[in-house]
Amino acid sequence: MPEKTYRDALKEGLREEMLRDERVFIMGEDIGRNWGGAFKVTKGLAEEFGDDRVRDTPISENAIVGAALGAAITGMIPVAEIMFGDLITLAMDQVCNQAAKMRYMFGGQTSVPLVMRSVFGGGKNLASHHSQSLEAWFMHTPGLKIAVPSFAYDVKGLIKTAIRDPNPVMFFEHKLVYDRKEEVPDEEYLIPFGKARVHREGDDVTIWGTFLMVHKAIEAADELAKQGISAEVIDPRTLVPLDRKTLIDSVKKTGRLVLVTEETKTGATTAEIAAIVQEEAFDWLDAPIKRVNAPDTPVPFSPPLEQVFIPDKDRIISAVREIV
Amino acid sequence: MASASKPLSGVTNGGAQKLCVGQVDSIMAVTKKKLVDLYTRTLKVRLFEEKVWDLFGENLVPGTLHLYLGQEAVAAGVTAALKKSDWVQSTHRGHGHVVAKGADMKAALAELLGKRTGSCKGKGGSMHITEFKAGVLGATGVVASGLPIAAGAALSCQMRGTKEVVACFFGDGASNNGTFGESLNMSAIWKLPVIWIVENNFYAMGTPITLTCPSQSIAQRAEAYCIPSCVVDGNNAVEVYEATLEAVKRAREGGGPSLIECQTYRMRGHSRFDPAKYRPKEEVDFWLSKDAVETIQNIALEKKALTKKEAKDIRRKLQKEVDIAADFAVKSEYPEPQEVLDDVFAEVA
Ligand SMILES: Cc1ncc(C[n+]2csc(CCOP(=O)(O)OP(=O)(O)O)c2C)c(N)n1
Ligand SMILES: [Mg+2]
């Protein structure tokens, strides 16, 4: 099977869906032929599909999402790109008040086949406005589905599923995984929402995480294995819907749970997962649930500061060792 | 507090580019049939809103209300220039848009009462009153949030190659929000088939436009985006209709967006319990003397499009329709508690 980068796998998914259904189109800032997207995900697509279907927009985040929404409810399938996840703040009304609620508040009269792509995460010294991980905000908004792919194989299968979903999907990527490679089939495949991927099986502890932290958790698990601790690593792949079963079954097996994401700690997705597990598997827990997150600060710029901000393999290992 | 009365004393053409043809000549050109249509639409919205006011008085309407009373000619004039397959984007003051566009009045009234037979199954109420199949993209509780959605719907009409157009209603207050600039700009660069309808009723809640808008008209702002615009008497359905007709033609032919500022006035307060004491009496009297229903009725009678008897017959027929709708709404059931969970997500095929 050929190895592909996360970036290329994602582009392949977008391309296949655009070939399959001519209602699918992409809009966003600098996604077209001159730039190909800030992270080059859409490079070459404008040349292939034309400037109408790979549409450069003005710097108008609220109108980008709003216009994509208007197109979605009238027969198109837009993929709106917001250049950085931090900039979704400028489109919060259209995302959270409009797209998320439209079906419900109109009593099911319409559905919203809309994908909103954006990118989270630090590690590139881009400081406080280009490095955040804000997925929990959207998990707190009923009506949005949320995909959080961390691997090349997943990103392709999930973007295709997102585009075919009749609901608004927040499709979040991570800056530091675009260049990571994995085997990705050339043949078409879809990955269903709400199905976690278990990267390592283990008996002593469950490590649940997202984005770059899945990669760090795998590294941690491999090192822990050498120390005689068997860790199970779970990547939910989508936060809404959430694969509770895989997580709960794993906790029932291991009795211990470490949650790791790059989000600032308070109100993070890890807090919600911890709450779910204590509600559904309290009697199976042999130790307190551990959370490994960023501190409650803005993302700092200077390399040594950013390095302590973002959790790493060693912090995951220490958290595991505290409870195993 | 600054008095709002000066620029409100009459319709101004505050430096805006003229889009509409001269009023007197043009009325001659409007067919008798269209005058009857305009009269019927204006009156229908009026009678609907009066019924809502009555039901509210009987404490049957939960929550708040933004009545369309006084502004009926705007919704009537705009929708009379549209086809059924065209779209309108509504606002928090949306009853008139929905009714004028041809939504089912039974479902609309039931929605206002929070009944399961409502167009939104009781999930939306006054601020989200919508009937999608009548071509209403939605009413919204967030001021100015409809503009980007309208731009996107127009983009969709353009990309799908339909000849449909979108009319987007919003208030004078909404025109101070960022979405105004973002959406007008987007519509202009892509030549979208959208008509921006500013319902300038000179107040955003209690704030007079003189405190929030430096120019004489909102239409002037369109010029910065190279969008043709005009100011019309929003209490005159014929003027609104004619301006819209020209804008619709431009949009359908690929000529891009237009902006029409309809100057009008709320007959009542902003919302449910607002007595609107902040408006000077002379100003209120001036606008009440320009009543939208009387205006179109007088024009239709004068142009012999209607006889007095025919006008009365239409009124009687519409009143009956509204009464039946109200009866339906009142007798309808409230939603069952478990329905709270319905319609968050559409089923995946
Ligand atoms: C974004 C936003 N800000 C404030 C409000 C509260 N609010 C509701 S209606 C309104 C005034 C709107 O004025 P305008 O756009 O002129 O419409 P009108 O009520 O006069 O029809 C305000 C401030 C809101 N709903 N949304
Ligand atoms: Mg107003």
CATH number of residue A75's parent domain: 3.40.50.970
Strand arrangement, sheet containing B136-138 = B136-138, B87-89, B166-171, B194-200, B258-263, B229-233
Atom of ligand 1 nearest to the CA of B175: 15
Domains parsed from chain B with CATH numbers = 27-327 (3.40.50.970)
Atom of ligand 1 nearest to the CA of B145: 1
- Same-domain pairing of A135 and A214: no
Summarised one tens digit per residue, pLDDT across range B65-118 is 999 999 999 999 999 999 999 999 999 999 999 999 999 999 999 999 999 999
Q: Which two tokens stand for residue A41?
A: 């995900």
For residue A216, being part of any structural domain is answered with: yes
- Same-domain pairing of A158 and A13: yes
For residue A175, being part of any structural domain is answered with: yes
- Same-domain pairing of A107 and A167: yes
Q: Is the peptide bond before A300 cis (omega within 30 degrees of 0)?
A: no
- Same-domain pairing of A12 and A44: yes
**A130 is known as an active-site residue:** yes
Would you state the pLDDT for residue B27?
59
Q: Which two tokens stand for residue B96?
A: 């008139």
Task: Report the candidate in A256, A272, A261 with the shortest Cα–Cα distance to residue A235.
Answer: A261
- Same-domain pairing of A203 and A179: no
Would you state the pLDDT for residue B26?
57
For residue A116, being part of any structural domain is answered with: yes
Q: Is the dihedral of CA A272, A274, A278, A281 positive or negative?
A: positive
CA B18 from centroid of its chain's CA atoms:
21
- Same-domain pairing of A22 and A157: yes
Summarised one tens digit per residue, pLDDT across range B27-71 is 567 999 999 999 999 999 999 999 999 999 999 999 999 999 999
C-alpha torsion angle, residues B100, B106, B107, B112 (rounded to 10): 90
Chain A residue closest in CA terms to B122:
A107
Nearest by CB: B151 against A63, A78, A103? A63
Decide if A256 touches B, using CB distance below 8 A: no
Decide if A22 touches B, using CB distance below 8 A: no
Cβ B287 vs Cβ B281: under 8 Å: no
Nearest by CB: A106 against B138, B149, B182? B138
Tell me which residue range forms the domain holding A220.
197-323
pLDDT at B13 over 80: no
Cβ B165 vs Cβ B109: under 8 Å: no
For residue A189, being part of any structural domain is answered with: no
Contact B347 A166 (CB under 8 A): yes
Contact A143 B344 (CB under 8 A): yes
Would you place residue B2 in the very low, low, confident or very high pLDDT band (cuts 50, 70, 90)?
very low
For residue A191, being part of any structural domain is answered with: no
DSSP lists the bridge partners of residue B169 as B197
Q: What are the chain A neighbours of B145 within 8 Å (beta carbons)? A: 66, 93-94, 97-98
Give the C-alpha separation, B17 to A36, whole Å: 39
- Same-domain pairing of A155 and A208: no
Number of domains in chain A: 2
Among A158, A183, A208, residue at a domain's last position: A183
Would you state the pLDDT for residue B29?
79
Q: Backbone phi, then psi, for A25, in 5-degree steps?
A: -145, 160
Contact B118 A107 (CB under 8 A): yes
Cβ B167 vs Cβ A103: under 8 Å: no
- Same-domain pairing of A158 and A267: no
Burial of B27 (0-12, 13-18, 19+ CB in 10 A): middle
Give the C-alpha separation, A25 to B122, whole Å: 34
Q: Is 0.95 exceeded by the ipTM?
A: yes
Name residue, tokens 């008085």.
B57
Among A155, A183, A211, residue at a domain's last position: A183
- Same-domain pairing of A177 and A267: no
For residue A188, being part of any structural domain is answered with: no
Task: Report the candidate in A74, A76, A119, A114 with the shortest Cα–Cα distance to residue A95.
Answer: A114
Helix H or strand E segment including A271: helix A269-281
Give the C-alpha separation, B84 to B102, whole Å: 8
The single-letter code of the amino acid at B88 is V
Give the C-alpha separation, B33 to A10, whole Å: 57
pLDDT at B14 over 50: no
Burial of B292 (0-12, 13-18, 19+ CB in 10 A): buried
Q: Backbone phi, then psi, for B111, in 5-degree steps?
A: -65, -45
What CATH number is attached to the domain comprising A262?
Answer: 3.40.50.920
- Same-domain pairing of A96 and A215: no
CA B274 from centroid of its chain's CA atoms:
20
- Same-domain pairing of A18 and A43: yes
Query: Quick one: DSSP state of residue B334?
Result: P
What DSSP letter does each residue of A81-116 carry, written as one string? E-SSGGGGGGGHIIIIIIITTHHHHTTTS-----EE
Cβ A211 vs Cβ A257: under 8 Å: no
pLDDT at B229 over 60: yes
Please name the residues in contact with A191: beta carbons below 8 A apart, sequence gap of 6 or more.
Answer: A154, A157, A158, A160, A161, A237
Q: Which two tokens stand for residue A75?
A: 């027969």
Chain B residue closest in CA terms to A94:
B145
Among A135, A161, A183, residue at a domain's last position: A183
Give the C-alpha separation, B75 to B235, whole Å: 10
Nearest by CB: B120 against A105, A164, A167? A105
For residue A35, being part of any structural domain is answered with: yes
Residues touching ligand 1 (Cβ under 6 Å) are B 66, 92-93, 141-143, 171-174, 199, 201, 203-205, 270
Give the C-alpha separation, B167 to B74, whole Å: 11
DSSP lists the bridge partners of residue B203 as B208
For residue A192, being part of any structural domain is answered with: no
B108 three-class SS: helix
- Please state, as a whole number, how many other Cβ atoms lie within 10 Å of the Cβ of residue A287: 14
Q: Backbone phi, then psi, for B204, in 5-degree steps?
A: -115, 105
Contact A105 B133 (CB under 8 A): no
Task: Report the candidate in B338, B341, B268 with the shortest Cα–Cα distance to residue A142.
Answer: B341
Cβ B243 vs Cβ B39: under 8 Å: no
Please name the residues in contact with A60: beta carbons below 8 A apart, sequence gap of 6 or more.
Answer: B182, B183, B185, B186
Cβ B147 vs Cβ B138: under 8 Å: no
Q: Which CB contacts under 8 angstroms, 24+ apart, belong to B10-13?
A: B10/B286, B11/B231, B11/B232, B11/B233, B11/B263, B12/B216, B12/B217, B12/B231, B12/B263, B13/B217, B13/B230, B13/B231
CB-defined contacts A:B, below 8 A: 147
Crossing angle (nearest 10°) for helices A212-226 and A313-323: 60
Reading chain A (324 residues) residue by residue, the pLDDT tens digits are 999 999 999 999 999 999 999 999 999 999 999 999 999 999 999 999 999 999 999 999 999 999 999 999 999 999 999 999 999 999 999 999 999 999 999 999 999 999 999 999 999 999 999 999 999 999 999 999 999 999 999 999 999 999 999 999 999 999 999 999 999 999 999 999 999 999 999 999 999 999 999 999 999 999 999 999 999 999 999 999 999 999 999 999 999 999 999 999 999 999 999 999 999 999 999 999 999 999 999 999 999 999 999 999 999 999 999 999
- What's the number of CA atoms in the CB half-sphere (13 Å) around residue A262? 28
- Same-domain pairing of A230 and A168: no
Q: How does A234-264 read in b/e, with b if 16+ C-beta sit within 10 Å?
A: bbbbbbbebbbebbbbbbeebbbbbbbbbbb
pLDDT at B6 over 50: no
Give the C-alpha separation, B108 to B207, whole Å: 30
CA A78 from centroid of its chain's CA atoms:
19
CA-nearest residue for atom 25, ligand 1, is B142
Q: What are the chain A neighbours of B346 within 8 Å (beta carbons)? A: 103, 108, 111-112, 166-167
